[in-house]
Structure 1
Amino acid sequence: MNGLEQDGERWLTSEEIADIWPKIRLNAVKEFIRVYHEDKGAEKRELLWGDETEYILVHFDHEKKTAKVLLESEELLEKLKTLDSNNLCPTMWQRECARFMVESKPAVPFSGDVESILSVEASMTQRRQLIFTSMGSLDKAVLTMGAYPRTGTPCFTRPAHAPNPTSGVRRSLFIPDEVIAGARYKAITLNAKLNMKGRRTEHIPIFKDAHTLDPFEEDLSQFGDKGKNKEDACTASKMCLDFGFCGTCCALQVTQQASDLYEARTIHDQLTPLCPILMALSAATPIHRGYLSNIDCRWPLFVQYTDEETQDNMWQKRSPSSPRTTKSRMDSVSCYAQPCNSCYNDGPTYMDNGIFETLLNHGVDEAMSRYVTNLFSRDPWALSDRQVHQCGEEWLDPIDLYTVVQANNYPSVRLKVPSQSNGWCVEFRPLDVQLTDFENASFSVFVVLLTRAILKYGLDLVLPISKVDKNMETASKRDAVRSSKFYFRDDIFDNKGLRHVSAQNGFRQISGMETNWAKFSLMTADEIVNGKHNGFPGLIPLVNRFLDDLDTIDVKTRLTADRYLDFIGKRASGETPTTARWMREFVMSHPAYKQDSEVSERINYDLMCRCNELSNTKPENWFWEQHILTN
C-alpha cells in the first residue's frame, strides 16, 4: 500500500469521488489503450528488478522490560532523505500506512545479469543500517517483521495514545488515529469505512493451547464497543480485529521489469500459482493483538478487511446491470493476462461491460481487456485534487490516472503499465517480510532466478484460478509448509505447444498444439520446491539447471546463489523453520507463558529483543541453523 502522496494535496471524500469517477475511469481506460498500442513497436527493455522492504520502528525500555512501536516515521524519513541526497546508499524511502513503519527500495534497480544477486543482501543491510543510524538511539530498533505482536493492545505505541471508538477517522476499538501516517492513508481509512457501511470488526482463529479459554470469547465493551451491531461479536475461538490491523503489517515485494508486454503477461501468469507456495515458505505473522493465532501469514487479514461484499460500490448504483467482483480489494489474482491461459479463468470475474467493450473495440485483445476491466470494478479509496486536475489538463505522467486506479487494488501479483522511466513491470506481493537481510535476499533472488528459468525453458505453471485460490487459503494455515498440500501442475513442460523447449536443455521436445486441460495433483511444499523421486522435478533443480546452462557465471556469484537456494530448499523441507514457527516455539517455551495463547508484555519484550539481536547478527554460512534452531 505504498503511497502516491505529494505535499499539499487534498484528498477527496467518497462523495466527491463518486461524482467524478466516471470521467476518471474513462480517461484512465483511454490512456491504457494508448500505451497498449504504443508499446507494440517499442524497443525491448532491459531486464531489471528490485525489492520493496518494509520495516517496523521499535522502542525498548530495558528497565520496565517493554517494547513499543515508535511513532516517528515522519521525522525519520526526513533524516533518511537527507542522507540519500549525500548518496550514501541511493534509496527511495516512502511512508507506509502506520507511523511506526517505513519502506525502502533501491533507487537504482538491480540489473538483469545474474551477477546482480551479489548486490542484493548488501543493499538491504545498508538500508537497515541507515535507518538505525538515523534513529539516533540504542534504545530504538528497526525490525523487518510481519507484524508487531501486540498491535491493538493498550498503550502499544510510544508515545502512548488511546483509540477512540466513537469519533475521529478510524473509530477503531483497538488502534488510535495517531497511528495513521499522512493524509492519503486517512482518506483511505475514511472512504473504506464508508464502503464497509459501519462494519467494525472481523475475526481470525485463535491458537488453542491447554489453558486457552474454550470457547474463546471477548467482551468488546471494555474497548468502548456498545454492542449495537451483532455482527461485531466474535464467534467462538476467534479473536476480534478491525480494518486498522491490515495497514500495520509488513511485506517483502519483488518487482521485475519485462522486456515487453508479452513477457510481462507471461511472468504475471506464471508467478500467480507460485504465490501460495512462497507465502507459506515466508510465513512470519503468527501473533495478533497479543495472542497466538491459528494462522501464520498476514494475507488473511488483508483479504477480510478489504472485503466490501456487504456493500454496493458507488459506481454500481449508476450501473446496476454490471455485477460486482466477489474478491476482496486485496486478494489472489482474479484472472490471467495471457490469451493462452484464459481457459483457466474458472472463477467469476465480474466487471463493467461498457469498459470491456471499449477496450475490445479499440484493439485490445480479450484476455487483456478482461484483466484491465476487472481493475475498474471498484471505486478508488484515495483520489487527490492533483490527480483530478490532471484528468482535465496536461498530465505529469501520461499514465498517472491508470496508475491511481491500479494503486487502489492489491492483488497477489500486479501487472504494472509503463511510465516515463520504466517499462512493463510485474510486482510479486504475497511474501511476509523476514527477520534478516539474508532471508529477504534469499526470497528475492529465488523469485528472480525462477522467473528467468521459466522464461528460458518455457515452463508452464498455470493452474485453474479456483485451485490457486484454494492454495492461498491453505498457505496461511499454521505450519502449512509441513502439514499441508497444495495443488500444482504435474507436467510443467506441457504448455500447449505455444512455446518450444529445446531437447538440448535436458527437457523433452514439445510440438504441435495441445488442448488437454492441465494435469495437477496435491503436493507438499517440499515436493514442489525440491522435487520428488521419479516425479515432479522441483523448482530449485530447475533454477540450478538454469545456472548451469549460463555461458559464464563466476564462482562467487554461484556460491551466493547456492546459499540462497539451499536456504529456500531447507525452508521448504521443514528442516529450517519458518519465522512463524520459530516465533510460536519461542513464545510457548518462554517461562512466563501460561499456555493460554496470550503473548504478555514481558514475553513480547524478550521476543522483540531476540528478533533485534538476530536481525543485526552478521550471518556466517547457515544463519538460522546457528542462531534460530539453538534459540
Structure 2
Amino acid sequence: MGLLSQGSPLNWEETKKYADHIRKHGIIQFLNIYNKVKDRQRDVLKWGDEVEYMLIEMDEANEKVRIVLSGGEVLETLQEQGEKINPNHPTLWRPEYGSYMIEGTPGQPYGGTMSEFNTVEDNMDKRRREASAALKPNETLCTVTAFPRLGCPGFTKPEYRPTPVEAGVSRSLFFPDEAINTHPRFSTLTRNIRHRRGEKVVINVPIFRDQKTPTPFVENFPEDDGEGARAALPDHIYMDAMGFGMGNCCLQVTFQACSIAEARYLYDQLATFCPIVMALSAASPFYRGYVSDIDCRWGVISASVDDRTPEERGLKPLKNDKYRIFKSRYDSIDSYLSSCGEKYNDIDLTIDEDIYKQLLDGGIDKLLAQHIAHLFIRDPLSIFEEKLNLDDENESDHFENLQSTNWQTMRFKPPPPNSDIGWRVEFRPMEVQLTDFENSAYVVFVVLLTRVILSYKLDFLIPLSKVDENMKVAQKRNAVQEDMFYFRKDIFKGCNPGLDGATASAQNGVETDGDSEEYMLMSIDTIINGKEGVFPGLIPILNCYLENMEVDVDTRCTILNYLKLIKKRASGELMTMAKWMREFVSQHPQYQQDSVVTDKINYDLLRKCDRIATGQERCPELFGEPINRFK
C-alpha cells in the first residue's frame, strides 16, 4: 500500500501548506538517488509477488457471510510468529487499506533460475496456511477481488453503521469508517482525498440489465443529504467511498532489472500487456450487492481515489488550480520511458514545467524528466508532522509520498537510498484469483514474459492512446472472449533501448510519427495462442524460449501446467473468475433475474469459493485439472 510512515497526520488545510515543500524536497531526493545509482549495472534478476487477502466469517446458522475487521490483530500475530523472530522467515505480512485485509509476500525475493518457478505456489500455500491458522474456527482467508456485498447493511463483523456526516472519515452512506485500517495513513488519505476534491468521491458502475432489473434502475438513499442523489446515475450502481476501490484485492509482481535502461525498457513493454492480462484475470463482477456490467475493478478503484477538483477535471475554468488533469491518480500510465517508446507517446502529458527544467538541469534526460514532472503535478495527500524535515541525502520519504500515491498500471521504482536494491518495475493491473495455483500461474506467466522480452529483444510498443483504449475495453463484461484489442503485429523487429529515440526509430524502419500498419485489432485468443498468418502468439513464443533453456523435468511440468491455464482462459475453454461467478449467481435457485446478489446467494457463492480454494472441491470449468503438488 505504499509508504507507511508513522506520526501525527496533518489535515488537508495543513497538508496543502506543505505541498510545495514536499515536492521541492522530493525532487532533491530523487536527484540524489539518481546521481548515486544511475550507472549501476549487472544487478541480478530478482522478483516477488504480492497477494492481498480478505478475512471473512461464514455464519452457517444465518447463512450469511461477513468481512471480519480483525486484520490488525491477525497481522500482528503473523509478524510476531514470523519475521520478528526469524529475519529469514519464508513469508512477510503487511497491512492493507481495509481493516479486513492483509497482504502477503515471499520472505525473500525469488532469483533468476528457472527452478524458482517451482517454489511460487508452495510459498503462496504457506501464506494461506499461516494466515488461516491465525483465524477463529468460523473464519477463513479469501482471495476474491471484490466482496460482492461490500457496502450492504450488516456486511462487517462486528457490525457498524456508516457515518455519512462531516465528522466521518469518508462520509459514506454505505462504508463504515471502522472498515478502514487503523493505521493513520489510510484514514488520512480517505479524508484528504475528499477534502481536496471538495466533495465525496463518485463511483458509478453500469448495472447488468437482467430480465427483471427495474427500468430505469434508480435507488433512494434514506440518509442522503442530496449529494448522493445528485451524483448517482440512472442504471448505475452508485458508491461513494475510497473503500469501494482500495478495499478490493489484487495480485502484483515487482521485478529488479540489471540497470536503469533495462528497467525503463521493461516498464514500456509490460505497459502494453496491462489491459490484456487484466482481462485474462477478470474477477470482479459484483458491487454493493448488485450484478454489474463490468468484470474488472480498475475503473472503480480509479474513481475511488480521484481527488481532482472540478477545475482539474475540466468541469470549470481554471481559476484556483494550476492544471487540467486528464486522469485520476490511479489509472494507466501516461508516458513511455525508453527511447524505443518515445515516438509512441501520443497522449496529452501535463507536467510541472519548473520541476521539468530542474530535472533537466540536474542531468535527467527528457523522457524520465517528464515522467517525474508529471507525477509531481499531484499534491501530497498524507503528511506526518514528524516527517516534514528530512535528510535529503539519505532519505526518500518526500519522493515516495508522491511516487506511491500515483497508482498506475506500471510503477517505475528507483532504488531506496543506501540499499543494495536495484532499479525495479511493478506490474499492477491483475485481479487476484481464487486459488494459489491460479495466482501462481499469472505470476509465472508475467515473469516469463519479461525473460522472453529481454532475451529476444521483442518490441510490443503501440501508441499509448491505443493502450488506453485497450484498458477501457478490458474491463467490459467477458472482454476476454467478446472484444478486440490493439496489438503490435511484428514484435521481432526489436529495439535497442540504449539508442536515442530518432536512431531507434530509423533502425526499426518505421516513421517517427507512428504507423498504423504496425498494429491491428486482435482477440486475446490470437494474442495469447496465435493465429496463422496473423500473429505467432505469446504461448508459442514462451514455449520456444523454454525449449532453448536448460529446464529440469519437474520445473518444465510446473510451468506448462501454468501456461495451460493462461492458454485455455484466452481461448474460452476455461472461464475467467468473473464469468464463473456470474454463472453461479444466474443459476442460483434464489436469484430473481433482478441483478441482486442476496445474503443467501453471497453465502453460497463464497462458501463454494472457500471449498475450492482450500482443495475440498474441484472446479474444472475454472482451472481444469491441474496436478496439485502441495495437498
TM-score, scaled to structure 1: 0.92
Q: CA deviation at 1:11?
A: 1.2
Given that 1:614 and 1:627 are in contact with CA atoms closer than 8 Å, whether structure 2 keeps it comes out as no
Q: Provide the secondary structure at the position in 1 that maps to 2:439.
A: helix
Offset of residue 622 of structure 1: 6.2
Q: Is 1:369 the equivalent of 2:369? A: yes
How far is the alpha carbon of 1:200 from its aligned partner? 4.7
SS across alignment from 1:522? strand
Is the contact between residue 322 and residue 353 of structure 1 (CA under 8 Å) also seen in structure 2? no
Q: Which moved more, 1:376-385 or 1:37-46?
A: 37-46
Shift of 1:327: 1.1
Alignment of 1:265-304 (within 5 A): 265-304=264-303
Q: Given that residues 489 and 520 in structure 1 are in contact (C-alpha distance below 8 angstroms), is that contact kept between their aligned partners in structure 2?
A: yes
Change (3 A) 1:478 1:56: same
Q: What is the DSSP-based 3-state SS (H/G/I as helix, E as strand, rest coil) of the residue aligned with 2:3?
A: coil
Q: Tell me, yes or no, if the aligned pair for 1:172 and 1:200 is still in contact at 8 Å.
A: no
Pick from 410, 415, 418 the counterpart of residue 413 of structure 1: 410
The equivalent of 2:357 in structure 1 is: 357
**Who is 1:203 aligned against?**
204
Contact 2:52 2:249 in 1 (8 A): yes
Which residue of structure 2 lines up, in the alignment, with residue 559 of structure 1?
557
Q: Aligned to 1:591, what secondary structure does the other structure show?
A: coil
Matching of residue 188 in structure 1 with residue 186 in structure 2: no
State the shift of 1:482 in Å: 0.6
How far apart, in 2, do the equivalents of 1:586 and 1:272 lie?
A: 33
Determine the structure 2 residue equivalent to 1:515: 510
Query: Secondary structure, in 3 states, of the residue corresponding to 1:389?
Result: coil
Decide which moves more: 423-432 or 305-314: 305-314
Corresponding residue of 1:123: 123
CA contact (8 A) 2:275 2:471 kept: yes
1:92, CA displacement in angstroms? 2.0
Aligned to 1:507: none
Do 1:294 and 1:478's aligned partners in 2 also have CA atoms closer than 8 Å? yes
Q: Output the amino acid matched with 1:440.
A: N
How many Å separate the matches in 2 of 1:342 and 1:178? 46
Could you tell me which amino acid in structure 1 is paired with residue 443 of structure 2?
A: S
Q: Distance in 2 between matches of 1:230 and 1:621?
A: 42
Q: 1:553 to 1:621 in 2, by over 3 A?
A: farther
**Which residue does the alignment assign to 1:76?**
74
Residues 313 and 378 in structure 1, CA contact (< 8 A), matched pair in contact too: no
What amino acid maps onto 1:515 in structure 2?
A: V
**Cross-structure match for 1:235:** 233
CA distance in 2, matches of 1:329, 1:498: 28
Is contact 1:57–1:101 with CA below 8 Å preserved after alignment?
yes
Residue segments in structure 1 that go unaligned for 5+ positions in a row: 501-509
In structure 2, distance between residues paired with 1:231 and 1:326: 22
Secondary structure of 1:565 counterpart = helix
Q: Which residue of 2 aligns with 1:492?
A: 491
Q: Does 1:337 align with 2:337?
A: yes
When residues 513 and 536 of structure 1 are mapped into structure 2, their CA distance, relative to the original with a 3 A threshold, is: closer
Alignment of 1:31-430 (within 5 A): 31-84=29-82, 85-87=84-86, 89-135=89-135, 137-166=136-165, 167-181=167-181, 182-220=183-221, 222=222, 224-227=223-226, 231-232=230-231, 234-243=232-241, 244-311=243-310, 322-390=322-390, 393=391, 397-419=394-416, 420-430=419-429
2:18 alignment partner, SS class: helix
Question: Which whole-Å CA distance do the structure 2 matches of 1:534 and 1:286 have between them?
Answer: 35
Q: Secondary structure at the match of 1:55?
A: strand
d(CA) in 2 for partners of 1:471, 1:394: 39
- Name the CA shift for 1:6/1:118 in 2 (closer, same or farther; >3 Å): same
Alpha-carbon deviation of 1:297? 0.6
Q: Is the 8 A contact 1:497 1:514 kept in 2?
A: no
Aligned to 1:41, what secondary structure does the other structure show? coil
1:10, distance to aligned residue in structure 2 (A): 1.0
Residue of structure 1 equivalent to 2:587: 589
Residues 1:388 and 1:334: Cα distance change in structure 2 (over 3 Å): same
Query: In 1, distance between residues paired with 2:322 and 2:263?
Result: 29
Per-residue deviation, residues 260-318 of structure 1 (Å, max 9, x unmatched) = 1000001100000100000000000000001100000110102222334444579xx99
Report what 1:575 is aligned to.
573
- Matched letter for residue 343 of structure 2: C
Distance 2:177 2:538 in 1: 44
Aligned position for 1:447: 446
8 Å CA contact retained: 1:322, 1:352:
no
Deviations 1:579-613 (A, max 9, x none): 00000000000001011010000000000100100
- Separation in 1, partners of 2:57, 2:295: 25
Q: Give how far 1:202 is off.
A: 2.5
Deviation string for 1:352-407 (max 9, x for gaps)? Answer: 100001111111110010111111010121122233132xx477x53332122211
Displacement of 1:209: 0.6
Counterpart-to-counterpart distance in 2, 1:31 and 1:132: 41
Q: Tell me the residue number matched to 1:24.
A: 22
Deviation at 1:463, TM superposition (A): 1.3
What's the offset of the Cα at 1:89? 4.5
- Using a 3 Å threshold, how does the CA distance of structure 1 residues 485 and 172 change in structure 2: closer, same or farther? same
- CA–CA distance in structure 2, aligned partners of residues 498 and 291 of structure 1: 47
Alpha-carbon spacing, 1:226–1:438, altered in 2? closer, same or farther (3 Å): same
1:418 to 1:99, Cα distance in 2 relative to 1, 3 A? same
Indicate how the Cα distance of structure 1 residues 312 and 418 shifts in structure 2: closer, same or farther if over 3 A, else same: farther
SS at match of 2:347: coil
User: In the TM superposition, what whole-angstrom CA distance separates every residue of 1:526-583 from its partner, at most 9, and x where no partner exists?
Assistant: 0001111122111111111111121x21111111110000110101111110000000
Secondary structure of 1:93's match?
strand
Alpha-carbon displacement from aligned partner over 1:314-338 (angstroms, at most 9, x marks no partner): 9xx9997953431111000010111
Distance 1:352 1:394, change over 3 A: closer
Task: Note if contact 2:64-2:600 (Cα within 8 Å) is conserved in structure 1.
Answer: yes
CA distance in 1, matches of 2:410, 2:392: 31
Q: In structure 2, do the counterparts of structure 1 residues 357 and 394 end up closer, same or farther at CA, with 3 Å as the change threshold?
A: closer
Shift of 1:408: 1.1
Matched AA of 1:214: T
1:504 is matched with none
Whether the aligned pair in 2 keeps the contact of 1:270 and 1:461 (CA below 8 Å) is yes
Amino acid across the alignment from 2:323:
P
Q: For 1:527, what is the secondary structure of its paired residue? A: helix
Alpha carbons 1:89, 1:126 under 8 Å: kept? no
Whole-angstrom distance in 2 between the partners of 1:453 and 1:627: 27
Corresponding residue for 2:629? none
Q: Which residue identity lines up with residue 355 of structure 1 in the other structure?
A: I
1:130: how far off?
A: 0.5
Q: SS at 2:277's partner residue?
A: helix
Structure 1: distance between partners of 2:22 and 2:309:
25
SS in 2 for 1:568: helix
Q: CA deviation at 1:498?
A: 5.9
* Secondary structure of the corresponding residue to residue 564 of structure 1: helix
Q: Greater shift after overlay, 304-313 or 588-597?
A: 304-313
| Count of aligned positions | 607
Could you tell me how far 1:141 is from its partner in structure 2?
A: 0.4
Greater displacement, 268-277 / 91-100: 91-100
Q: How far apart, in 1, do the equivalents of 2:399 and 2:201 lie?
A: 30
Contact 1:322 1:350 in 2 (8 A): no
Distance across 2 between alignment mates of 1:252 and 1:498: 28
Give me the whole-angstrom Cα distance separating, in 2, the residues matched to 1:65 and 1:479. 30
Q: Identity rate of aligned residues, in percent?
A: 39
Tell me the distance in 1 between the aligned counterparts of 2:250 and 2:575: 19
Instruction: Give the secondary-structure state (helix, strand or coil) at the position aligned to 1:110.
Output: coil
